[in-house]
A and B are shown apart, each in its own frame.
Chain A
């Protein structure tokens, strides 16, 4: 079965702190994609990153970085020097081509960054 687990339901940090959001996935497929999305209070989903299963390189984009480790089936997301505007719900998701490409979402982590 395919599954995405985000064990952290809520995280609260103070501005400028670094924070890591955990994501663990389950699949027996060798070809898959992993995603992170941000959902601000407005509800719209904001795409952050897509990773395919054959690319384990870590990625950095500004204050955001992602650590993909197939050995532990994890795809963690770190925000460095967090800001109040980072407050949102963050979703990790998995897609499999042999399942019609549907996205399977984790439960989401609500991040609150306080000034």
Chain B
């Protein structure tokens, strides 16, 4: 079946630094990738949708300059949290889709802690 690899699984960084999270589709070409954020005991909130070769579409309230998303190839999307602060500490999950009508494959998530 379709597999999405997300790295790192856990990261601790200092306040003010940037962190990059990678999401790779291993056995299919992901025309669309989605990035979600999940705070403890809460649901998954969509941050942005990215299509290969295009700029990401951010959801309302998500700072595009803080959460940089790049989807340069059909198998790789990255989320960079710039100038991270403790309130950015969260669980970030990516999801990839081969196309309309296909299912969604989720990565295993990245737990970010900003100290």
- Point out residues on A near B: beta carbons under 8 Å: 35, 37, 42-45, 47, 50, 91, 95, 97, 100-108, 110
Contacts and interface: CB of A to CB of B under 8 A. Distances in A.
B108 A91 contact: no
Nearest to B106: A45
A13 to B, nearest CB: 20
B49 A43 contact: no
- Chain B binding surface SS class: strand
A75 to B, nearest CB: 16
Interface residues of B, number: 22
Interface string B67-111: 000000000000000000000000101010100110110101101
A91 B44 contact: yes
A103 B34 contact: yes
B104 A107 contact: no
A102 B106 contact: no
Given A43-B91, A43-B109, A105 B43 contact: yes
A43 B111 contact: yes
Of A91, A101, A105, chain B has the most CB atoms within 10 Å of the CB of: A101
B43 A103 contact: no
Given A50-B103, A97-B100, A103 B108 contact: no
5 contacts: A42-B108, A45-B93, A91-B44, A97-B100, A110-B41
A50 B101 CA distance: 11
A84 to B, nearest CB: 21
Question: Most A CB atoms within 10 A — which of B43, B91, B93, B111?
Answer: B43
A102 B43 contact: no
